[in-house]
Structure 1
Amino acid sequence: MSEASATDHDRVFTELRPLLFTVAYDILGSATDAEDVIHDCYLRWRAQDAGPIADPRAYLVTAVSRTGLNHLRTLRRRRETYVGNWLPEPIRTEPHRGTGDAADDVVLAESVSMAMLLVLETLSPVERTVFVLHEVFDYPHDEIAAIVDRSPATVRQIAHRARGHISARRPRAAARRPGNHDDRDRQEHELVVRFLHASRTGDLGELLSVLASDVVHMSDGGGQVTAARHALYGADRVAAFSIGLARSAMSGAHAELARFNEAPAAVFRVDDVVDSVAVFDCRDDHIVGVYAIRNPDKLHRIDDLHRLDRGRTSPWKP
């Protein structure tokens, strides 16, 4: 490949990279594995010299989807022996207003939410890939059929089955309503500040006022650090656990407010070392989900800011 061709390939790949990362992350639920998939596809994209490609977006999304699907099959076998709760690897998503990313796209914001990613884990690898490509990225069944190596009729059946499965399990916290982003962000972060302060001060009444009655709390230590092995359900249990945690294991931690997976979050550091990231699902002025990631393998990329894209504004969209 000539130097000019290589430069043009790099330019196209760079423009499409936010879309490719979003596809891979939605399929895999892991930023680290998504980056591995993208790197592998980039090397193949850079090496190919079969003349100009009419639709780079379709070509690269297909490559990332196929590679992601194969990778997911391997990951699923590993996750079957995972110690304790498995949670997605969190991604920092400070809003890029006006870019068409998750800050401005309700469908995309839902697709990367912790709650929705956990529901996607209940699908088979093929079901998940079909659901993500069709429901999130608007790919037609005929194109998906070529990606997953199934007939269009079979893909329609898979899509129908996956959609029904997701609809039955979609958590109410995952659905986001459009509105004033700044107001929504401020209200959600105020809820988190109240939760953190009440946990530290042991204010049970205040905690119960910010937690939904059916709130869920999940911790992921990956068997490497201490974490609750089972999910906690209900405001009373989550409030008591949060107060106890703040008084013991997290008593010396400093909390930094942030946004991860297009949701309010807190990064906890102990002696300037990241201990955990807690991502909060908020709805109707209450916290309905707390997802605490402590597995060190999922924390080494937390300062990387990810731009997400569903491809709606891409110049390469067919």
Structure 2
Amino acid sequence: MGEHDRLAERFEVHRTHLRAVAYRMLGSGSDADDAVQESWLRLSRTDVSEIENLGGWLTTVVSRICLNMLQSRRSRREEPLDAYGAEAPPSMSATAGTDPENAALLADSVGSALLVVLDTLAPAERVAFVLHDMFAVPFDEIAPILERAPAATRQLASRARRRVRETGQGSDGATDLARRREVVAAFLTAARNGDFTALLAVLDPEVVLRADAAAVRAGAAGEVRGATSVADAFSGQARAARPVLVDGAAGAVWAPGGRPRVVITFAITDGRIVAIDLVAEPEHLGRLDLEFPDN
């Protein structure tokens, strides 16, 4: 197998995730396919030896492509041909026979009502909202995509979140958030109880656990990959962590004496955790909007 074929195999591992990101941003199955294909073309022209995190790199690339497409669409006042149709866009239905998992993921996670609301957002707002609130990408990673400071990026997502709520996007967003909170709650319960099997049930096989510099100094590993290794890292742990909304997304926090010391953010796709980030840097913690549940 040649280098090109090996690279293509690595790309295919991320295709479903990339298309989910692009579809949420663009609201069009055909446009999402174009964005993903363009990300592959850019990858094929790149020296991959310089890429440390291929999934993160591809997410950044496809997000920039989507941002450009949104900006171009708005300047020409275009609307995608397949937007706001049935739950599954025509292009998704056409490919369902070859990729039913991908089609089911997109149809289940994004309803047409939410897409209509997202289309009212400015391109930068939509990118910030989708990446952070739907995929739990930290603002520090979104900011370079939008060429803004993390604080400004956070404000963009906050404005977008407010508009989504005010527009009354119905059960789409509320149901999605409720599902994500259930996944986080199941994860925390399994971790506290040392239930290794239950941990594996909520973790994606390729899950990645990352810790910032402050968390590493406190004893956490900088990066752990794979469901078995991540489950082992959390089994019997997180006893004092409690559920919290982190900038509107489902997360957890360790806050002894009411002071947040470590925030745990989760990226969840298709009901499983695909990434976990431990945030302990005081400066970063101070920029997070934490909302504790009533119960």
2:44 maps to which residue?
46
Alpha-carbon spacing, 1:70–1:317, altered in 2? closer, same or farther (3 Å): farther
TM-score (normalised: structure 1): 0.49
Alpha-carbon distance in structure 2 between the residues aligned to 1:85 and 1:19: 20
Alpha-carbon spacing, 1:161–1:110, altered in 2? closer, same or farther (3 Å): farther
Alignment of 1:47-62 (within 5 A): 47-62=45-60
Aligned length: 180
The reply on whether 1:9 has 2:4 as its aligned counterpart is no
1:148 maps to which residue?
146
Alpha-carbon distance in structure 2 between the residues aligned to 1:84 and 1:70: 18
Alpha-carbon distance in structure 2 between the residues aligned to 1:76 and 1:86: 14
Alpha-carbon spacing, 1:139–1:85, altered in 2? closer, same or farther (3 Å): closer
Alpha-carbon spacing, 1:17–1:86, altered in 2? closer, same or farther (3 Å): closer
Dislocated runs of 4+, deviation >4 Å: 82-86, 108-111, 308-314
From 74, 77, 87, the counterpart of 2:75: 77
TM-aligned CA deviation for residue 309 of structure 1: 4.7
Amino acid aligned to 1:134? H
TM-aligned CA deviation for residue 312 of structure 1: 4.9
TM-aligned CA deviation for residue 76 of structure 1: 2.2
From 87, 93, 103, the counterpart of 2:84: 87
TM-score (normalised: structure 2): 0.52
Alignment of 1:167-206 (within 5 A): 167-174=165-172, 175-176=174-175
TM-aligned CA deviation for residue 111 of structure 1: 4.9
Alignment of 1:206-217 (within 5 A): none
Asked whether the equivalents of residues 111 and 136 of structure 1 are also in contact (C-alpha less than 8 Å), the reply is no
TM-aligned CA deviation for residue 112 of structure 1: 1.3
Asked whether the equivalents of residues 79 and 86 of structure 1 are also in contact (C-alpha less than 8 Å), the reply is no
Where structure 1 has 5 or more consecutive residues not aligned to the other structure, the ranges are 180-307
Alpha-carbon spacing, 1:11–1:168, altered in 2? closer, same or farther (3 Å): same
Alignment of 1:290-309 (within 5 A): 309=269
Alpha-carbon distance in structure 2 between the residues aligned to 1:83 and 1:61: 22
The structure with the greater share of residues assigned to helix is 2
2:257 maps to which residue?
none
Asked whether the equivalents of residues 128 and 156 of structure 2 are also in contact (C-alpha less than 8 Å), the reply is yes
Amino acid aligned to 1:176? T
1:137 maps to which residue?
135
Deviation readout 1:248-291 (Å, 9 max, x if unpaired): xxxxxxxxxxxxxxxxxxxxxxxxxxxxxxxxxxxxxxxxxxxx
Alpha-carbon spacing, 1:60–1:126, altered in 2? closer, same or farther (3 Å): same
1:233 maps to which residue?
none
Deviation readout 1:135-189 (Å, 9 max, x if unpaired): 000001111101111101101111111111111113324243779xxxxxxxxxx
Alpha-carbon spacing, 1:131–1:9, altered in 2? closer, same or farther (3 Å): same
2:121 maps to which residue?
123
Asked whether the equivalents of residues 27 and 132 of structure 1 are also in contact (C-alpha less than 8 Å), the reply is yes
Alpha-carbon distance in structure 2 between the residues aligned to 1:6 and 1:29: 31
1:290 maps to which residue?
none
Where structure 2 has 5 or more consecutive residues not aligned to the other structure, the ranges are 180-267, 278-295
